[in-house]
Structure 1
Amino acid sequence: MVVSQSKPEVNYSDRESSSDIGVSCTAIEEQYARRKIDLSVLPLLLLGMTVFQLDRMNIASALTGGFGKDISIDQSTVNLGNQLMFLGIVVLEIPSNLVLQRIGPDRWIPAQVLVFGVIATFQIFVRNRTGFLIVRSLLGLAEAGYIPASLYTLSTWYERHELAKRVGIFFFGMFGGNAISPLLGAGILKLDGKHGLKGWQWIFLVEGILTITASMLILLFLPRSPENPNPYLLKRSWVKFTNQDRDILATRALRRDSVSEKKASPTAGILKAMLNYRRWPHFLLAPCTFSTWSPLTTYTPTIVMSLGFTRIQANALTAVGASMALPIVFFFSWMSDRTGKRGLTVVGAVICYLIVLIVGRSLLPHLGRWNKFGVWTVINAFAVCYHPVHNTWLQLNCRDPAERSISIAVEGVMSSNAGLMAGTQIFQAGDTPNHLTGLVAMIALVAGGLVLAVVQEGIYLWLNARSTKRGLGNIYVP
């Protein structure tokens, strides 16, 4: 490849093995290749994440449409159903990642999306408490593994300094789905009674079909790997990768792996991830703080409706806080990449959320309905601002691919969903309408998460100081 002398040059030397690929290219050429990843891999994973969130959180809109009354379930049963869903995710998280390692994300990810899309659609047939609990359990089992599979896939395409913003964008699917869900619910509930289906049945049907359609798009167009960017079924994605792009992407993969430890087997990765006590604060921080999001996603529309708004107004207004979360999440992700201070960014984000909760708990009993709506909106906006950065922080400190995949599963989903499972019980029927007791529990949990974030930062700083004394330099990302 001929390199113009007038352009900034990035040289990638050949690696130790003769089979390694090394190319020399300009920074602009690498930027173009990376942009093609941004236009092919990232949007499809983002799409999958959006429908993933729609399918597990549209019950919030269904409840405002009379779902609970029609199938004779109360709030405690809804909480139990959500607990079983999150339990299913936890149970199959690591097995799902082992399958991912064996068959590859280009086949496993669309298969997962298809299965949980079908199960989500079948919720239209739920008629009683038993059926509700069974379907929620199956939905959790089917969704297990999607998030860590997607995060692992991103880590194979992007380098360390590029990853946080992409993880933040990927989680836009979760938070964006949470924002879109009440808006879709508000519109779909207008179909109540059409063709003999209730409004909540239309919600499950329409959003389930959207998920099935998304699975087909992912199967057809998701590139397989940096070394072979063709999709599994088609000869090319909607973005064309040239031979030069392939060389650049392969070299980027080699450059990324060159700072990694020797690759271990998936089983060794499980042991290494679980027994590495230095990262246990990561695994404990996730359930502490993320647990507080569970009651917000399930009951915010109901809380807003209790302020005197109609069910359609409540669903539409709920989207405001969820939409505000998107720029806040992106800001902290951008700050993380900009400064390189991953731990301090997480600490700052958790502090912001804690302040919002304390102020909200203090003000709610003394406010009118619009101001109460404002408080709940801000709480929803800050509830997840730390999460993508925290996940990236963990990934950057896992240099072995197998360990990284399992660590993502443990922290990113197993621990987080264990927290969500416990968090379903934070808001109780006897605590309505302000849920002041629930907010106290949320404050305590987030404060515990803050302590754990500070401890994790201290551990990495201590390990770096020790390695520097040995002449190894900084080996962890604080």
Structure 2
Amino acid sequence: MSAANSSRPEPHDALIVEGGNALTDSQRADSSIKSEGSTESKGERSEAPMPYIPPLAPDDDCEPHSVSSLFSRHRAANLDGIATRRSVFDDPSFASAYTPHPQWEGNSRLDPLCRWTYREERSLIRKLDWRILALAFVMFFAMDLDRENIAQANSDGMLRDLGLSTADYNLGQTLFRVGFLLAELPSQMVAKRVGVDRWVPIQLIAWSAFSIAQFSMRSRASFLTYRTLIGIFSGGFIPDMVLWLSYFYTSREMPARLTIFWLSNYLVKILGPFAALGLLKLRGYGGYAGWRYLYAVEGLFTLLVGVFALFHMPAGPTQSRNWLYPRGWFSERQETIMVNRVLRDDPTKGDMHNRQGIDWPAFKRCLLDYDLWPMYALGFTFLIASIPVQQYLTLELKRLGFTTSVTNALSIPGPALAVLIMMIPPIVSERLNHRTFVCATENLWSIPCYVALFLLPASASPWVYWAIATLQLGAPYVQPLQVAWIARNAGSVANRSVSAAVYNVAVQLGVIVGVNVYQPSDAPEYRRGNLAMALLCSGVLLQYIGVYLYYRWRNASKARLWDQMTREERVAYLDANKDAGNKSLAFRFAL
């Protein structure tokens, strides 16, 4: 249980916004009575009676799950029972501080008195998963296919055919990452101005064109040029998609959905080699190498996905109607449920509309939000150790004597292992309402793997190296959980947009470091690199502890000031809007 939940100010109403979730303590204590139309009990304040509130979901459906619930599936007792969670909008005194933007796209469906059942909510979530999440999954799959197929191209002798060295390969990957990260913030600003639904399909079509063009690569210069351009046009795609998904899902649902979203990355690692087995056999057909067909065919797939997304990607929950779908994807009732459940979960999601750009003062304010800097620092370091083995696996397996077909086949078990355990971190995190130490498991897993690689004798069997490398590749992948974590702690739409991009820039900077860990001077065992990774992972574990302590301290500092206020002072404070977003005394950082 986080500090925010353990410090409930009494006896005054306490508006607590924890990672975007807002409700008052009086609602927890009194709403069930007032929703039945009862009068206040004797001795309670009666000068300003609360208006009638329709029934709401029981508190045990709103609170984080206990440790024991990890071993049982949580089910609603009655599918026709009310699923609407308590929110700040149930108290008019506090609700006025969270009035959505006048042009917010959900205003036509906003109704604080709207209630829906578990049956309706589950049906809607299934529809969202098949329509929204599935589309996002396919788009990310296409992106990963274009940026990851270089590993299969290497197994077919691309470096040899182009006369490239390992250093050239490292430089190409570095330029890809540099282009990727340089485009992150500009892409997010463009997407916020024109709409994610318009910008993302353009990105897909643009980078797919350069991916197809790799078929014609003839030199070191063309290799470096195409890798850079693919990086530039795919940069910003991930934070753009995170922002888009947040329009449809609540903060409690985002970690699992983002994990499924990132599952496409591992699916590419599993299916990519299978596709390569067939495409690389085209070597010699027409006088061209197999890796050229690999780039062309998979680039064409991405192009088709981009064209599909251009006509099928809705701008938001109430904006799915177009000439292909004149009735839209959702009924009016479903749109109403979507709008109200998302806004009840995070009232700040209504402070900007989805075609509203971020001006310079707001951008600067978001960029200088020091409370998110610890997360940016984690983004830079936590993923570095996952890169070296992943980048060099096919090259190392080829060096150890495996054939092209066997090399591609042996690259599958590692990602497959990761897929098997990928859903565990978000499930554990949401059940316990805890993120810090769950996220630390990825680096904890990597320490013994890199120690084993450091100690591995040069005479060891190639199969021993493969086994250790496979275990390292199967480490718990916590990137989706951390992205959802920083989105919760952003506190506003603008901050969520900017922080997602800045965080991803930090991650890409870390990836650039990871790509260059293994150096030719350290080949072929790369002992210095493996030792460095084991030590880095140990340091990252300490970093997670520091982040946890920082956010506990920030929550406790806010709670002390908030606890001293009367109800009237809290209402006046929120109405004055002196401290916006995560700087508000009512906001509690998710831990």
**Number of residue-to-residue matches in the alignment:** 472
Q: Larger deviation: 463-472 or 334-343?
A: 463-472
Matches within 5 A, 1:73-222: 73-222=164-313
1:234 to 301, 324, 328: 324
1:465–1:474: 8 Å Cα contact kept in structure 2?
no
2-structure distance, mates of 1:233, 1:83: 42
Q: Specify the code of the residue in structure 2 equivalent to 1:198.
A: A
TM normalised by structure 2 equals 0.75
2:342 to 239, 253, 258: 253
Structure 1, unpaired ranges of 5+: none
- Alignment of 1:244 onto 2:337: no
Q: Specify the code of the residue in structure 2 equivalent to 1:393.
A: W
Q: Specify the code of the residue in structure 1 equivalent to 2:221.
A: T
1-structure distance, mates of 2:374, 2:448: 22
Partner SS for 1:84:
helix
Matches within 5 A, 1:322-341: 322-341=415-434
1:304 to 376, 397, 419: 397
2-structure distance, mates of 1:227, 1:466: 39
Alpha-carbon distance, 1:377 to partner: 0.5
1-structure distance, mates of 2:115, 2:239: 33
Alpha-carbon distance, 1:292 to partner: 3.1
Matches within 5 A, 1:417-428: 417-428=508-519
Alpha-carbon distance, 1:450 to partner: 2.1
1-structure distance, mates of 2:144, 2:359: 28
Alpha-carbon distance, 1:227 to partner: 2.2
Q: Specify the code of the residue in structure 2 equivalent to 1:253.
A: V
1:219–1:233: 8 Å Cα contact kept in structure 2?
no
Partner SS for 1:10:
coil
Q: Which residue number in structure 1 is paired with residue 18 of structure 2?
A: none
Q: 1:393-449, CA deviations, whole angstroms, 9 ceiling, x for partnerless residues?
A: 1111111011111111111x2111111122221112343333222212222332332
Larger Rg: 2
Report sequence identity in percent. Answer: 26
Alpha-carbon distance, 1:324 to partner: 1.5
1:400 to 485, 492, 500: 492
1-structure distance, mates of 2:466, 2:326: 48
Q: 1:82-114, CA deviations, whole angstroms, 9 ceiling, x for partnerless residues?
A: 111111111111110000001111111111111
2-structure distance, mates of 1:6, 1:350: 40
Structure 2, unpaired ranges of 5+: 1-53, 56-77, 101-106, 564-584
2-structure distance, mates of 1:449, 1:171: 22
Alpha-carbon distance, 1:195 to partner: 2.7
Alpha-carbon distance, 1:229 to partner: 2.9
Alpha-carbon distance, 1:182 to partner: 2.5
1:117–1:208: 8 Å Cα contact kept in structure 2?
yes
Q: 1:280-300, CA deviations, whole angstroms, 9 ceiling, x for partnerless residues?
A: 221122222323333333321
- Alignment of 1:389 onto 2:481: yes
2-structure distance, mates of 1:125, 1:363: 40
- Alignment of 1:476 onto 2:589: yes
Q: 1:278-334, CA deviations, whole angstroms, 9 ceiling, x for partnerless residues?
A: 222211222223233333333211112222210111011111112211222221122
Q: Specify the code of the residue in structure 2 equivalent to 1:309.
A: F
Q: 1:332-355, CA deviations, whole angstroms, 9 ceiling, x for partnerless residues?
A: 122112211011211233322233
1:21–1:254: 8 Å Cα contact kept in structure 2?
no
2-structure distance, mates of 1:193, 1:24: 64
Q: 1:238-277, CA deviations, whole angstroms, 9 ceiling, x for partnerless residues?
A: x941221111112123223425695594534432332122
- Alignment of 1:292 onto 2:379: no
Q: Measured at CA, do residues 364 and 372 of structure 1 come closer, stay the same or move farther in structure 2, by a change above 3 Å?
A: farther
- Alignment of 1:9 onto 2:101: no
1:350–1:386: 8 Å Cα contact kept in structure 2?
no
Q: Measured at CA, do residues 426 and 414 of structure 1 come closer, stay the same or move farther in structure 2, by a change above 3 Å?
A: same
2-structure distance, mates of 1:347, 1:291: 13
Q: Which residue number in structure 1 is paired with residue 104 of structure 2?
A: none
1:178–1:297: 8 Å Cα contact kept in structure 2?
no
